[in-house]
Amino acid sequence: MAEKRAIKEGEDVDSKLQLTEFISVSELANLMDVNFTDVISKCMSLGIMVSINQRLDAEVIELVASEFGFEVEFINLEQEAEQEAEIIDAPEDMEPRAPIVTIMGHVDHGKTSLLDYIRRANVVAGEAGGITQHIGAYEVTLENGKEITFLDTPGHEAFTAMRARGAKVTDIAVIVVSADDSVMPQTKEAISHAQAAGVPMIFAINKIDKDGANPDRIREQLSAMNILVEEWGGKYQSQDISAKSGLNVDLLLEKILLEAEILDLKANPNRFANGSVVEASLDKGRGFVSTILVQSGTLKIGDMIVAGSIFGRVKAMTDERGKKKTKAGPSTPVQILGLNGAPQSGEKFKVYDDEVEAKEIANHRAQILREQGMRTKKHITLDEIGRRLALGNFKQLNVIIKGDVDGSVEALSDSLQRLSTAEIAVSVVHKAVGQITESDVLLATASDAIILGFQVRPSSQAAKLAENENIEIRYYSIIYDAIDEIRSAMEGLLEPKIEKKAVCNIEVREVFKITGVGTIAGCYVMDGKIKRDTKINLVREGIVIYTGELASLKRYKDDVKEVLSGTECGLGIKNYNDLKEGDIIEGYEEIEVKRTL
């Protein structure tokens, strides 16, 4: 498909090629009107070994084309198709729609209680039966007839899953903070998530029924983060509530409506529907069941839907009360049957009137996805920067900084921001002291960021999640190294370099002080193997507190050269005696990593 669309403009020196990424060597040769052997030999002279049918990524295409005197412009078929089909509604067709709200906050601060209360409460104009099903989203009608749609998965996950696929679904974020506690790490993360997405926040200061509740302390802590609530002369609305008894929840809902009014949310209900997928699963009896949120237009039974590479006709539609529906307008969540698979959360969907076209689009996407899945990294990495620069749509490098002390985090953040150039802005999405958590990885997924760990490590769940989500975590112990590496990547000059690669993790289980010898730790090798000359980092609660070498390595009484995973051993660290039970000793090797194109 690339070659069909590609056109060559003019024959003069500054010829421009319009093409898609991943065209093959022979296709590229055709476009430039040169022999494919010339392209292959040019590649070889650039140190890239290719065959005639090999597909090339953007960076290589740009490099090779420029050698032949061509400029390239990359077009993204999917995007292009979307833009073509994007319907711009006339202002007079727009009608007000309900706000879509996500509830976020620290664990146990009352998110679920608030959602539950709203779901069954008397603040909602009583529809008989109440909400019986969890479908991932629900709509409530207040006594004044106004409606609000809630995404019914409390926490960052729902929000992030949506954002990760580029869906802007949430209009307003309600941040729940418990008045008997304080602004906690996840509260801050929730705020970072909302700010990164540019979604307005309303604060719900919860549990005011409890003894010891002190809402003012929360307002004060928020103000220390530069978030001034209205009572304190700021722009953020906040409401003291009790999610348990329902006290003031009606006032909170009013504030949501007020915020919605300011946002002036509108959509055109009189056209083919589009929107986002909230969740989807395979149900034994019914086939694929998807909850989708209509954002524009009206969805009807029988409509042909495409969501990513999934398609199908809507066979049945129900709301959160299990009631059958025949149509659903803007801001309405519905559960539908009839798709040929389970689309991902956050995937956009659209209705097509032509079945053949819909299937073609879905299949074409499946093909592109396969190719991209094999060939490209889903998320940004330092090596990926060069490729995206070549594609020409890389404007901002997002980073998340976690460090062992505030001073280093601030210093790193300041220096990195100063690296911003006219082409790429470096933006620090989140920075904090402490271990790298799952939430950091989720935020990185959603905002396509690299995580920089300065003398800190991820928790094991975070490491696993990062691996699954292809999030790059880079570790540094010298600020200059971090800055230097990122600067080089931004200049497209990533040199082969020495990288530390973790080779084992060892848990300290007992500590013995031996006079004349120093501290010896009784340890267990959790994974990998440790050798006598392995260099080590000592990690305590996710923070690297010492880097050095072993002084001794023993099995029982004998000195040994190496100890394997699943075995106990005794060891001492050179010039370091302050070992504690529960410490993790991370062994690493220094290897030369070549930059791959």
Query: What is the C-alpha separation between 506 and 529, in angstroms, rounded?
Result: 9
Indicate whether 275 belongs to the interface with ligand GDP (CB under 6 A): no
Least separation in angstroms between residue 154's CB and ligand GDP is 5
Least separation in angstroms between residue 84's CB and ligand GDP is 43
Burial of 573 (0-12, 13-18, 19+ CB in 10 A): buried
Buried b (16+ CB within 10 A) or exposed e, 490-527: beeebeeeeebeebbbbebeebeeeeeebbbbbbbbee
Looking up tokens 């009839």, which residue turns up?
Answer: 338
Report how far apart, in Å, the C-alpha atoms of 14 and of each of 21, 72, 390 are.
20, 10, 17
Q: Quote the DSSP letter at residue 315.
A: E
Least separation in angstroms between residue 140's CB and ligand GDP is 18
**Which of 29-37, 159-167, 206-214, 334-342 is the region at the interface with ligand GDP (rule: CB under 6 A)?**
206-214
**Which of 82-90, 145-153, 241-249, 431-439 is the region at the interface with ligand GDP (rule: CB under 6 A)?**
241-249
Query: How many secondary structure helices (H) and strands (E) does the chain include?
Result: 16, 31
| 3-class DSSP state of 350 | strand
Site string for ligand GDP, 432-451 (x = CB under 6 A): --------------------
User: Between 150 and 476, whose beta carbon lies closer to ligand GDP?
Assistant: 150
Least separation in angstroms between residue 111's CB and ligand GDP is 4
Instruction: Reduce the secondary structure of 122-174 to three states and give it as a string.
Output: CCECCCCCCCCCCCCEEEEEECCCCEEEEECCCCHHHHHHHHHCCCCCCCEEE
Site string for ligand GDP, 447-486 (x = CB under 6 A): ----------------------------------------
Q: HSE of 237 in the Cβ direction (CA atoms, 13 Å)? A: 19
Beta carbons of 416 and 398 less than 8 angstroms apart: no
User: Between 17 and 104, whose beta carbon lies closer to ligand GDP?
Assistant: 104
Report how far apart, in Å, the C-alpha atoms of 54 and of each of 131, 364, 368, 485 are.
55, 20, 16, 30
Kindly identify the residues of this chain, within the stretch 208-237, that bind ligand GDP according to CB under 6 A: 209-210
User: Between 213 and 432, whose beta carbon lies closer to ligand GDP?
Assistant: 213
Kindly identify the residues of this chain, within the stretch 85-114, that bind ligand GDP according to CB under 6 A: 105, 107-113
User: Between 152 and 303, whose beta carbon lies closer to ligand GDP?
Assistant: 152
User: Between 61 and 252, whose beta carbon lies closer to ligand GDP?
Assistant: 252
Query: What is the C-alpha separation between 114 and 108, in angstroms, rounded?
Result: 11
Least separation in angstroms between residue 105's CB and ligand GDP is 6
Least separation in angstroms between residue 248's CB and ligand GDP is 10
Site string for ligand GDP, 140-179 (x = CB under 6 A): --------------x-------------------------
User: Between 140 and 585, whose beta carbon lies closer to ligand GDP?
Assistant: 140
Beta carbons of 183 and 225 less than 8 angstroms apart: yes
Least separation in angstroms between residue 354's CB and ligand GDP is 45
Query: What is the C-alpha separation between 255 and 270, in angstroms, rounded?
Result: 29
Least separation in angstroms between residue 205's CB and ligand GDP is 10
User: Between 94 and 247, whose beta carbon lies closer to ligand GDP?
Assistant: 247
Indicate whether 244 belongs to the interface with ligand GDP (CB under 6 A): yes
User: Between 206 and 331, whose beta carbon lies closer to ligand GDP?
Assistant: 206
Least separation in angstroms between residue 305's CB and ligand GDP is 32
Indicate whether 243 belongs to the interface with ligand GDP (CB under 6 A): yes
Least separation in angstroms between residue 209's CB and ligand GDP is 5
**Which of 14-22, 46-54, 207-215, 311-319 is the region at the interface with ligand GDP (rule: CB under 6 A)?**
207-215
Query: What is the C-alpha separation between 135 and 158, in angstroms, rounded?
Result: 13
Beta carbons of 427 and 434 less than 8 angstroms apart: no
Beta carbons of 298 and 328 less than 8 angstroms apart: yes
Beta carbons of 291 and 136 less than 8 angstroms apart: yes
Least separation in angstroms between residue 85's CB and ligand GDP is 39
Taking the alpha carbons of 432, 434, 435, 437 in that order, is the dihedral positive or negative?
negative
Instruction: Single out the residue of 55, 156, 193, 207 in contact with ligand GDP (rule: CB under 6 A).
Output: 207
Least separation in angstroms between residue 131's CB and ligand GDP is 16
**Count of other CB atoms within 10 angstroms of residue 413:** 18
Query: What is the C-alpha separation between 229 and 245, in angstroms, rounded?
Result: 24
User: Between 246 and 287, whose beta carbon lies closer to ligand GDP?
Assistant: 246
Beta carbons of 417 and 401 less than 8 angstroms apart: no
| 3-class DSSP state of 338 | strand
The DSSP-derived string for 468-499 is HHT--EEEESSHHHHHHHHHHHHTT----EEE
User: Between 111 and 165, whose beta carbon lies closer to ligand GDP?
Assistant: 111
Least separation in angstroms between residue 175's CB and ligand GDP is 11
Least separation in angstroms between residue 526's CB and ligand GDP is 31
Instruction: Single out the residue of 20, 160, 192, 242 in contact with ligand GDP (rule: CB under 6 A).
Output: 242
User: Between 154 and 275, whose beta carbon lies closer to ligand GDP?
Assistant: 154
Looking up tokens 């629900």, which residue turns up?
Answer: 138
**Which of 240-248, 439-447, 513-521, 553-561 is the region at the interface with ligand GDP (rule: CB under 6 A)?**
240-248
| 3-class DSSP state of 461 | helix
Query: What is the C-alpha separation between 362 and 309, in angstroms, rounded?
Result: 4
User: Between 207 and 388, whose beta carbon lies closer to ligand GDP?
Assistant: 207
User: Between 154 and 572, whose beta carbon lies closer to ligand GDP?
Assistant: 154
User: Between 105 and 587, whose beta carbon lies closer to ligand GDP?
Assistant: 105
The DSSP-derived string for 498-516 is EEEEEEEEEEEEEEEEETT
# binding residues, ligand GDP (CB under 6 A): 16
Point out which residues bind ligand GDP (CB under 6 A): 105, 107-113, 154, 206-207, 209-210, 242-244
